[in-house]
Amino acid sequence: MSTQAEVTMPDPQTFLLPSRAYVLSMRDQNVPMREAALADALEHFGECAAEGGYVEQLALVALIGEALQIVEDLGALASSLLKAPAGTAFFAALTNYNRRTVNNFYAGLHKRPDDDFLRLLGFRLGEQRLEDAFVFDPPLNDNDLAALDEAHIATARLVRRHLTTLAAEWERYRRFHHAFKHGFLVANPEDVELVENRSERIDGIVVWRRFRPGAEGFGQIEPPYAETADYVARRGRLALDVVRYLVDTRVNVFELADFRADGTWTLKPMRQTPWLWWFDKNDVAETTLTHLSKRFGVAFD
């Protein structure tokens, strides 16, 4: 038998149980709500596209608003999981609003090492590997640990790629998202023209930029708008997939502990793997997939 590493956990009443409640509320309420809002906005755009003109533009901005809201939720969640001060639960950092948080998170992604993403995904608890907190019978050997590391790193790199993709979309569309979220300040094309080189009129959607001393437009979405609508909706669904994964990894960690009514807890006996992996098949060697399947009873889709 292997020996279980010493696990120092925060107080269940003030940290663990509220954190568990928060991720469960995201799984059961926030994610389904965002998914429904995105589908509704896409359907509404389809109805307005038949009318064209300003109505179609407004519907597209609304769709962007719903899709980018998921990207914003994801950035805020990921930032809180990585940057919550020591001794502070992630949900406390998440509810402490700062308008720069999401911008800073996405802008700094390229500087983050793989270890940050291992912590984000729950494969690391601080400096401790998650697997070090559990007793395995038979004990994990070097081959097991090497296979786990390969799967962990492949998952972290896939999530990094998805977040990097969404960071570009956040920069590209966030002003349209803010126009929808903070007042719907979209210029009517009958009143405002978008021009290039101060003279050449071009088609496009114009929104007013925030925090400017005067009226300053921003516009780069050109027709046909249906192509942008489909593209943005797909990016919103990608953000939903990443949010679901982050939430599921956290829920899965909490499911490994048995919480009692008096607030005490113990780790449950290991009957399943504590990991949820998400990677492209080609990013992990076939021999590693075989080893993980045999050693831990994992079935890969």
pLDDT for position 179: 86
pLDDT for position 2: 43
Q: In the chain, count of helices (H) and strands (E)?
A: 9, 8
Distance CA 77, CA 222 (A): 32
Read off the pLDDT band of 3 (50, 70, 90).
very low
* Region of 134 on the Ramachandran plot (φ > 0 left; ψ -120 to 50 alpha; else beta): beta
Q: Examine the pLDDT at 185 and tell me if it is beyond 90.
A: no
Coil, helix or strand at residue 213: coil
pLDDT for position 165: 97
Distance CA 152, CA 159 (A): 11
Tens of pLDDT, residues 120-159: 998 887 777 878 877 787 888 999 999 999 999 999 999 9
Q: What are phi and psi of 137, to 5 degrees?
A: -130, 110
Q: Hey, what amino acid is at 93?
A: A
Cα 7 to chain centroid distance, Å, stands at 28
Residues shown for the chain: 301
* In the chain, where the domains are located: 12-181+224-296
Q: Examine the pLDDT at 68 and tell me if it is beyond 80.
A: yes
pLDDT for position 216: 67
Please give the structure tokens belonging to residue 226.
């249906």
Average of pLDDT values for 267-284? 82
Please give the structure tokens belonging to residue 281.
């098949």
Q: Examine the pLDDT at 16 and tell me if it is beyond 80.
A: no
Does residue 211 or residue 40 have the better pLDDT?
Answer: 40
Q: Examine the pLDDT at 102 and tell me if it is beyond 50.
A: yes
Do β-strands 194-196 and 200-202 pair in parallel, antiparallel, or remain unpaired? antiparallel
Tens of pLDDT, residues 193-249: 777 777 777 777 878 777 777 666 777 788 899 999 999 999 999 999 999 999 998
Read off the pLDDT band of 85 (50, 70, 90).
low
pTM of the model: 0.86
Please give the structure tokens belonging to residue 72.
């914003």
